[in-house]
């Protein structure tokens, strides 16, 4: 085994967008930061997401509207929400917690916590992007959520009322207004909800790599390596790498996305993290004259205009980290998109699958390990890693610096389960 290196100040495990944003905030605060990742900078799930800065997305996945749809969706193996049959026994405890999170009292607390997080996320992300010189990568075109009937909209209205109470602006569009907001939609869509404050980025991987360039200029370092386990000592914590070497730090931050719970278990923290496997296809630039991100909520996917093409993706497949991808799911979404947007050119696409780290209540785990103040967790953001990355960076920096967190982090305690 190689000898242990001299202890670092801060080590962040994970170079996805959350880990990068944490490294940025800590570096701005004058901390000496080393990031470790097995793949590289923004090469995993953060590279291929839908590119939304979804600051208005305060509703948890375990809402009553979703639960009502799940049984029908599960009948379709290529539908918006599916579970690999072989994985169901392992998933049962998570599904039970997911069901409990749908209770009215739990939903109210979750929406309140998510609203506070989003209130922090927007200024933190816009500020970080501006300081990094990347503000022009943010697009402020809003989003359009589409419905095939007034009945479908009525089912969604309680969620929109919750957003209204949180101060989120939106407008329901019909007829000519809807057609003007996004020309070329199939006539089956009779109403759409426009959210002007919704933002997207030009390309999520470009944003991640651009932020890392800024972090490097601030002095942070990077090591490409696989972390097999972690441990904590009295005055520091240690990452044990697959090559037999170790890296120690005064604070070790686990931000490794869908793999994070395996490292947390080494610290004695059993956190019910599951993997939402998301699929997409990115079509060439010009495949459709897309004005803004379109959300087909009844079908569980979105269509996003990027500088690198038109990305069609989403849906949820609960199948863990080890089962092989099923790219028929990407193909199914692409076929639906062509029906919904008849002028869409579907040739030349690139398929992709990523692992969203999801906790049953749709809130991330942010806070210290239950066994050591030298280890912190920052993972489990589900669909909202890009959106909440800078806010998570701010909260982690507050904790590391011994400051009162910018918002209450009690709802995000890793031990809440």
Domain holding 71: CATH number?
3.30.9.10
> Which residue, 85, 67, 89, is CA-closest to 77?
85
Pair 301, 337: CB distance under 8 Å = yes
Same domain, 176 and 314: yes
- The pLDDT tens digits of the residues spanning 206-243 come to 999 999 999 999 999 999 999 999 999 999 999 999 99
Structure tokens at 106: 């739990």
Structure tokens at 162: 């919750």
Q: Which of 326, 356, 386 is the last residue of a domain?
A: 356
C-alpha to C-alpha distance for 399 and 393, rounded to whole angstroms: 10
- The pLDDT tens digits of the residues spanning 29-79 come to 999 999 999 999 999 999 999 999 999 999 888 775 666 666 766 667 777
Rounded mean pLDDT of 244-273?
96
Q: 413: how many CB neighbours lie within 10 A of its CB?
A: 15
Residue 411 lies inside a defined structural domain of this protein: yes
Same domain, 385 and 298: no
> Which residue, 318, 209, 335, is CA-closest to 273?
318
Handedness of CA 253, 92, 64, 198 (dihedral sign): positive
Helices and strands of the chain, counted as H and E runs: 10, 20
- The pLDDT tens digits of the residues spanning 156-194 come to 999 999 999 999 999 999 999 999 999 999 999 999 999
Residue 159 lies inside a defined structural domain of this protein: yes
Residue 222 lies inside a defined structural domain of this protein: yes
- pLDDT at position 1 is 31
Q: Which of 356, 380, 402 is the last residue of a domain?
A: 356
Rounded mean pLDDT of 302-326?
92
- Point out which residues pair with 379 in neighbouring strands: 365
Instruction: Give kind and range of the element (H or E) at residue 81.
Output: strand 81-83
> Which percentage of the chain shows pLDDT scores above 70?
95
C-alpha to C-alpha distance for 191 and 175, rounded to whole angstroms: 8
Question: Domain range for residue 176?
Answer: 56-103+136-200+274-356
Q: How many distinct structural domains can be found in the chain?
A: 2
Residue 178 lies inside a defined structural domain of this protein: yes
Say if residue 357's pLDDT is above 60: yes
- The pLDDT tens digits of the residues spanning 102-155 come to 888 898 999 999 999 999 999 999 999 999 999 999 999 999 999 999 999 999
Rounded (5°) CA angle 368-33-51: 80
Structure tokens at 90: 């392992």
Same domain, 42 and 172: no
Mean pLDDT score of the chain: 93
C-alpha to C-alpha distance for 334 and 281, rounded to whole angstroms: 7
Pairing assessment for the beta strands 8-13 and 52-53 based on DSSP bridges: unpaired
C-alpha to C-alpha distance for 333 and 49, rounded to whole angstroms: 15
- The pLDDT tens digits of the residues spanning 320-338 come to 898 899 999 999 999 999 9
Residue 124 lies inside a defined structural domain of this protein: no
Same domain, 91 and 158: yes
Residue 141 lies inside a defined structural domain of this protein: yes
Domain holding 410: CATH number?
3.50.50.60
Q: Which of 316, 331, 356 is the last residue of a domain?
A: 356
- pLDDT at position 78 is 74
Same domain, 215 and 298: no
**CA contacts within 13 A on the Cβ side of 88:** 6
Residue 298 lies inside a defined structural domain of this protein: yes
For 175-226, give the secondary structure using H, E and C.
HHHHHHHCCCCCCCCCEEEEECCCEEECCHHHHHHHHHHHHHHCCCEEEECC
Same domain, 305 and 172: yes
- Between the CA of residue 305 and those of 44, 74, 288, 315, what are the distances in Å? 20, 29, 9, 18
Pair 22, 398: CB distance under 8 Å = no
- Point out which residues pair with 10 in neighbouring strands: 33, 251
Residue 351 lies inside a defined structural domain of this protein: yes
Structure tokens at 47: 């590279």
Pair 197, 387: CB distance under 8 Å = no
Same domain, 153 and 16: no
């Amino acid at each position: 085994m190689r000898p242990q290196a001299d202890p670092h100040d801060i080590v962040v495990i994970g170079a996805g967008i959350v880990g990068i944003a944490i490294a940025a905030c800590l570096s701005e605060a004058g901390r000496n930061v080393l990031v470790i990742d097995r793949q590289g900078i923004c090469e995993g799930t953060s590279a291929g997401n839908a590119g939304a800065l979804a600051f208005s997305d305060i509703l948890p996945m375990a809402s009553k509207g979703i639960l009502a749809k799940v049984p029908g969706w599960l009948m379709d193996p290529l539908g918006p929400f599916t579970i690999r049959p072989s994985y169901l026994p392992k998933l049962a405890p998570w599904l039970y917690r997911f069901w409990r999170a749908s209770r009215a009292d739990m939903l109210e607390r979750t929406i309140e916590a998510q609203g506070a997080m989003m209130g922090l996320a927007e200024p933190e992300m816009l500020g970080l992007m501006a300081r990094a010189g990347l503000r022009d990568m943010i697009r402020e075109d809003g989003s359009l959520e589409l419905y095939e009937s007034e009945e479908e909209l009525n089912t969604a209205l309680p969620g929109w009322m919750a957003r209204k109470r949180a101060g989120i602006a939106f407008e329901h569009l019909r007829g000519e207004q809807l057609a003007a907001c996004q020309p070329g939609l199939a006539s089956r869509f009779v109403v759409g909800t426009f959210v002007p404050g919704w933002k997207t980025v030009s390309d999520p991987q470009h944003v991640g790599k651009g932020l890392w360039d800024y972090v490097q200029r601030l002095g942070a370092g990077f090591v490409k390596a696989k972390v097999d386990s972690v441990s904590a000592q009295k005055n520091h914590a240690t990452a044990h790498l697959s090559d037999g070497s170790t890296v120690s730090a005064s604070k070790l931050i686990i931000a490794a996305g869908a793999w994070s719970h395996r490292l947390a278990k080494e610290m004695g923290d059993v956190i019910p993290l599951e993997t939402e496997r998301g699929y997409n296809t990115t079509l060439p630039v010009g495949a459709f004259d897309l004005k803004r991100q379109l959300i087909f909520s009844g079908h569980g996917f979105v269509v996003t205009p990027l500088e690198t093409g038109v990305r069609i993706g989403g849906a949820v497949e609960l199948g863990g980290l080890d089962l092989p991808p099923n790219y028929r799911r990407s193909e199914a979404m692409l076929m639906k998109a062509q029906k919904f947007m008849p002028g869409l050119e579907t040739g030349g696409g690139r398929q992709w699958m990523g692992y969203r780290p999801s906790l049953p209540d749709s809130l991330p785990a942010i806070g210290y390990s239950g066994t050591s103040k030298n280890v912190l967790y920052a993972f489990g953001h589900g669909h909202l890693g890009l959106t909440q990355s800078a806010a998570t960076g701010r909260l982690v920096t507050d904790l590391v610096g011994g400051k009162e967190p910018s918002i209450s982090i009690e709802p995000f305690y890793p031990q809440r389960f």
